Amino acid sequence: MPTVAFHTLGCKVNQGETAAMAHLFREAGYKVVDFSAIADVYVINTCAVTVQAEQKSRQIAHRARDRNPQAMVVMVGCYPQVAKGRGKLPDGVDLLVGSGDKPRIVELVERAREASSPLVAISHWTEDTSFQMISASQEVGRTRATLKVQDGCQQFCSYCIIPYARGPERSRPIPEVVQEAQSLVKAGFKEIVVTGIHVGSYGRDLPGRPDLVQLLEEVLQVPGLERLRLSSIEPNEIGHSLMSLMRRYPNFCRHLHIPLQAGHDRILKAMNRRYNTSEYRSIIDMVRSYIPEIAITTDVIVGFPTETEAEFQATYDFVADIGFSRLHVFRYSRRPGTPAAEMAGLVPKEEKARRSQALIALGRRMAKEYAEGLMGSEQTVLWENQDDDGVWSGHTDTYVTVCSRDSDLRSNQITRVLIDGKNAWIKV
């Protein structure tokens, strides 16, 4: 039986697509093995969001080649897609597959076997590129499944390469999504993470223009679905209807990831973000008025071109003032082909590192404060893994990691526990 191994970089959408590709390989008679094993085919599902992500994609490909020089090494997704646009493809691999060509992966691997030179299968995006998705419902052995409902982005934030890597916005029709959710529940998944590249745009391209709230309400009603988590949503796409849905459905996780990117209006404008700081603040206030204990996580970019020390400080103060349960900090990375790549006023590397460290430290403090606020409360936890010392870990619906030594716990089980710091404690 031929073997295939996967390594995934980047976002939750990529994770879901890797699961779906693994399913296609299994159906074609392959055995999926760990990436550290000797495999016949290594698939690297790449990311191009930063220079470092591209570098890492190349390093992983080299590592796979070293592990088994006879193997076929395949790079798929965002990196080959944007590299093609730049006219410089990564070398040293046997097959390059574009973002929209993932559903053809097995056929392409078979074709690459016969080819005498590396095969390139990177399609161009067109306006009518329809939604391409492959089922992930046979993914086994994990407690949380990702369910991709949307692809592409047309926001064109000035720093972001994703619209060029993923193409125009396309949505998956509601009945298909519901069917997939039913299969995932049937396969034993307790939690489904609804993902998309720009999930707030869901439905704009579909007949009748259903919106995200309509879609989520249908999925929340799938019998047996214990948890639905929304992966990330732009601030200006959160309305009263979404929050009222979260309040009405106890299986809708009380957690939203709402990218901020900067806490200064001039920088937000230069980034081509569609809100200013006072609008962002109002949205957070509205969200908290519905669910006061909600966990709000965010992304911030430091060192965007021309960002001054005072503007960075404004971002720092804004983040501290809003208070997030988790903070992801990114150093600005110049992406050729984006408007920001042409901007003058680059922030020196050392300065970006300093700003990033300051915000990471703030993020840790805020995460700790949020976690400490759960002490003495009862939480529902989806238990996931047990380590070699017998300690179980899992997540609350607010995406806080809880640990316990309770030997009665089982993987993929949801229990209600008292966070007392002894029998169950928080890991920050």
In whole angstroms, give the CA distance from residue 367 to residue 324: 7
**Residue 197 beta carbon to ligand SF4: minimum distance, rounded to whole angstroms:** 6
Q: How far is the CB of 332 from ligand SF4 (least distance, A)?
A: 12
Question: Taking the complex as a whole, how short is the minimal distance between the CB of residue 373 and ligand SF4, in angstroms?
Answer: 30
Shortest distance (Å) from residue 200 CB to ligand SF4 = 9
From the CB of 391, what's the least distance to ligand SF4, in Å? 36
CA distance linking residue 287 with residue 1, whole number of Å: 51
Taking the least distance from each CB to ligand SF4, the nearer of 156 and 250 is 156
Whole-number minimum distance, CB 214 to ligand SF4, in Å? 21
- Judged by beta carbon, residue 25 or residue 324, the one nearer ligand SF4 is 324
CB nearer ligand SF4, residue 163 or residue 394: 163
CB of 337 to ligand SF4, least distance (A): 13
Q: Over the range 155-182, which residues count as b (16 or more CB within 10 Å of their CB) and which as e?
A: bebbbbbbbbbbbbbbbbbbeebeebbb
**Which residues in this chain contact ligand SF4 in the complex, by CB under 6 A?**
153, 155-157, 160, 162-163, 197-198, 234
* Choice between 43 and 157, CB closer to ligand SF4: 157
Residue 17 or 40 having the CB closest to ligand SF4: 17
**Least distance (Å) from ligand SF4 to the CB of residue 72?**
31
Residue owning tokens 């009263």: 240
Long-range contacts of 54-58 (CB under 8 A, 24+ apart): 54/79, 54/83, 56/9, 57/9, 57/90, 58/90, 58/92
CB 198 within 8 A of CB 155: yes
Residue 257: what residue type? H
Comparison of 10 and 80: residue with beta carbon closer to ligand SF4: 10
Nearer to ligand SF4 by Cβ, of 41 and 160: the residue is 160
Question: Is 14 in contact with 25 (CB distance < 8 Å)?
Answer: no
CB of 203 to ligand SF4, least distance (A): 16
- Looking at beta carbons only, is 80 or 163 nearer to ligand SF4? 163
Q: Which residues have C-beta within 8 Å of that of residue 321, sequence separation ≥ 6?
A: none
Among all chains, which residue has been given the structure tokens 């306006």? 127
Whose Cβ is closer to ligand SF4: residue 226's or residue 279's? 279
